[in-house]
Structure 1
Amino acid sequence: MKTDGEIRIFLAATSGGHLTEGLALFGGLSGTKLIVFSEYGPRMETLDCEHYGYRRIKSPVLTMIPSFFKSLYLIAKTRPDWVVTTGAECGTAAILAAKLLFRKTIFVETASRYRTKTMSAKICYPLVDHFYVQTQEGLAIFGKKAEYIGGILA
């Protein structure tokens, strides 16, 4: 249940670097309720927030399909103000689900990709409300919609 002034953020990120960057965005942020959607694994059990998982299938495309339907269900259930992703298959699926449910969306391109676009970024760029890059080079690659926020983990 949403309390007065609380902003609900649904963070969708695969485990590893994507999740690390996503969690760094909201670490210690007051007035927010963080809801994490990521792969099942040992790290999920250590999260100190509401979290949901999915099982990764060998193919990223095959992983996106069940991730989309689970995201659709979870976003409808948790009713976040913002759906945020740092990329990869569950993030792309969550952005697609969020747009169907008329939720505001943010995509943060990973810092490790500064010369080329990730597949997730290519798909999500025209869909999201805000698109952020962590490198100056990312501004030239993506164009007008991209906004530079600096390195999250710097």
Structure 2
Amino acid sequence: MRRYLRRISLVAELRLFGVRVALVASGGGHVRQLLDLEPFWSSAEYFFVTEDTALTRALAAKHPVYFIPHVALGQARLGKPVAMLMAALRSFFRSWRIMWGKRPDVVITTGAGSSYFPVLFARMLGAKIVLIDSFARFAGPSAFARIAAPLAHIRVAQSADAGRNWPGSWVFDPFRRLDKSRPAKESLAFATVGATLPFERLVSLVDQAKRSGLLPEKVILQSGQPLKCEIDPSIEVHPTLTFEEVNSILARAEVVICHGGTGSIITALQQGCRVIVVPRSFARGEHYDDHQWEIAEAFAHRGLLSVVGNDDDIAGAIAHARASDPVCATLVPDDLIGELKSLVAEWKLGRIGDKAKVSDGVLPRI
């Protein structure tokens, strides 16, 4: 079996050059997970389909990228159904033009809402679909995964519990603690609201912490948009930062205060920062649902970060973070990359038909 797997892997390396791969994801952590799969897609003819954010604009400077509008079902839940429908209509036609023109052989998607139409049209045009559910979903599949699952040939969950609650999925848990010393740190705190939505409460909490002396460090804030309120003048504010700029700051930052997106959390943990998470709340109109609470609590349960609860106790969270040992951790998707290479090789060789599905989490072998 190992000899067979090595042969398939070698065939995959050789054959991916003739495969056109579409990498489809919304902004933020979803597209960052696609970047982690670069050893897979870099040997193919590839292109990205994603939302227009600071991260993806930087991505477009180095890779072929096609932008589509931001669409999410939660927009209607937050009282913006017309905006959602208009964005969906624009995405429908834009996605069709992209997929009709590019005709990918394989689509790798990590969701979410804006990814649906590109995946749908690619499937209609004969592409094979690999749906990788967000690492943010620890207990079960996301709404996007449930909706898009009928379009997928292969479904991938990234935790054991999520896999058990998503029948027919592979399970690859990429999370790894790193046994290494963290980078030398400066007296620096970095706060970020992420790339997609504004987050005024996080900005207010950071301002409060700075004014009260809880953050004696220099503070850099990525605000997501020009600020509408006055904050402590010593805070260095940037509406947007490139991915490279963020990584440079994280390498030096002792403390990171961020929203509950996996991309922000993982990049901070990779640099050994003391991480404090302020999860967005649906009840407060800060996000489309409460999945950031699930993310924050799952990471906190592993002893990786501190969480600001509904009481907005930023002082308690900062004190907890300073008293805890910082942890270095990352995502290592090597096993998934190897299976994707084998799978695409078998598809290209015609050994797995269009109707092949995974029923037990094991790659079907012919």
Task: Please say whether Structure 1 and Structure 2 have the same fold, judged by a TM-score greater than 0.5.
Answer: yes
Distance (Å, rounded) in 1 between the aligned partners of 2:89 and 2:137: 24
Distance (Å, rounded) in 1 between the aligned partners of 2:35 and 2:129: 16
Distance (Å, rounded) in 1 between the aligned partners of 2:63 and 2:35: 11
CA gap of 1:28–1:108, structure 2 versus 1, over 3 A, is: closer
Query: Which ranges of structure 2 fall in alignment gaps of 5 or more residues?
Result: 1-15, 77-83, 176-330, 333-366
Q: Is the 8 A contact 2:26 2:112 kept in 1?
A: yes
Of structures 1 and 2, the larger Rg is shown by 2
Give the TM-score of the pair, scaled to structure 2: 0.38
Distance (Å, rounded) in 2 between the aligned partners of 1:5 and 1:79: 15
In the other structure, the counterpart of 1:148 is 171
Q: How does 1:39-118 map to 2 (within 5 A)?
A: 39-47=51-59, 48-56=62-70, 59=75, 61-62=84-85, 63-118=87-142
CA offset digits 1:99-137 (Å, max 9, x no partner) = 221211110001111213211111111221110111111
Give the deviation of 1:57 after TM superposition: 5.7
Match of 1:121 among 145, 166, 177: 145
In the other structure, the counterpart of 1:26 is 38
In the other structure, the counterpart of 1:11 is 23
Distance (Å, rounded) in 2 between the aligned partners of 1:45 and 1:140: 36
1:75 aligns to what SS in structure 2? Answer: helix
2:31 partner letter:
L
Q: Is the 8 A contact 2:21 2:45 kept in 1?
A: yes
User: Identity of counterpart residues, as a percentage?
Assistant: 24
CA gap of 1:19–1:132, structure 2 versus 1, over 3 A, is: same
Which protein has the bigger strand share?
Answer: 1
Distance (Å, rounded) in 2 between the aligned partners of 1:57 and 1:136: 29
Which of structure 1's runs of 4+ aligned residues deviate more than 3 A?
27-30
Distance (Å, rounded) in 1 between the aligned partners of 2:106 and 2:41: 14
Give the deviation of 1:140 after TM superposition: 0.7
1:132 partner letter:
V
2:104 aligns to what SS in structure 1? Answer: coil
2:160 partner letter:
Q
Q: Is the 8 A contact 1:85 1:107 kept in 2?
A: yes
Give the deviation of 1:33 after TM superposition: 2.2
Q: Which moved more, 1:77-86 or 1:59-68?
A: 59-68
Distance (Å, rounded) in 2 between the aligned partners of 1:28 and 1:98: 19
CA RMSD of aligned residues (A): 2.2
Give the deviation of 1:34 after TM superposition: 2.2
Distance (Å, rounded) in 2 between the aligned partners of 1:149 and 1:69: 34
Give the deviation of 1:28 after TM superposition: 6.8
Give the deviation of 1:43 after TM superposition: 2.0
Q: Which moved more, 1:63-72 or 1:128-137?
A: 63-72
CA gap of 1:27–1:67, structure 2 versus 1, over 3 A, is: farther
Match of 2:49 among 37, 40, 47: 37
Q: Is the 8 A contact 1:64 1:89 kept in 2?
A: no
1:132 aligns to what SS in structure 2? Answer: strand
Give the deviation of 1:12 after TM superposition: 1.2
Give the deviation of 1:147 after TM superposition: 0.6
